[in-house]
Amino acid sequence: MDLKSLIRDIPDFPKPGIMFRDITPLLRHPEGLRHTIDTLAQTCKNRGLEADYVVGMESRGFMFGPPLAYQLGAGFIPVRKPGKLPAAVHSIEYELEYGIDRLEVHQDAFDCGCRILIVDDLIATGGTASATAKLVQQIGCELVGFAFIIELRDLGGRQKLPDVPVVTLVEY
């Protein structure tokens, strides 16, 4: 299945000069969504990415993380923006192009030593994925890999990630 045909290009969003890759057509296409999750899960299995938990970052990681976790027989853990989680959290600050942001995860989300697969819809500059990796590693978890639907290769995000397997389905 040609997943690129289900990803809409929106020029000049959110600002001039940016080509936004919109996954909403993929999400609404039953066969495309099924193919995406099945292919992502099978590719992770083929690469030996066995995880106790799939970690998805807010917000689009939440769309792909739970069904991927289900396919892999793993649990799902959300990583959120500040102030969204009700219990005690671990957090990490990271730099954006225009400032600083923070990610949080519940302190009781996983035990030290568990295996983590990080998933998101897209890797661009790699800042959020890299920060999430640092967060789970600081907690004492083993990062087994990353899974993304889309990779924007020219932005070099993969180079910011730790040296673990990276699975992507579509590249621009």
CA atoms lying within 13 Å on the CB side of residue 47? 19
pLDDT digits (tens, 9 = 90+) for 46-72: 999 999 999 999 999 999 999 999 999
Give the CATH number of domain 49-171. Answer: 3.40.50.2020
pLDDT digits (tens, 9 = 90+) for 78-109: 999 999 999 999 999 998 767 899 999 999 99
At position 84, the amino acid (one-letter code) is K
pTM of the model: 0.96
Q: Return the SS3 of 116.
A: strand
Percent of the chain residues topping a pLDDT of 70: 99
- pLDDT value at residue 93: 96
> What's the token pair of residue 40?
């992502």
- pLDDT value at residue 5: 98
Task: List active site positions.
Answer: 60, 97
Q: Where are the domains of the chain?
A: 49-171
Q: How far apart are CA 40 and CA 125, in angstroms?
A: 21
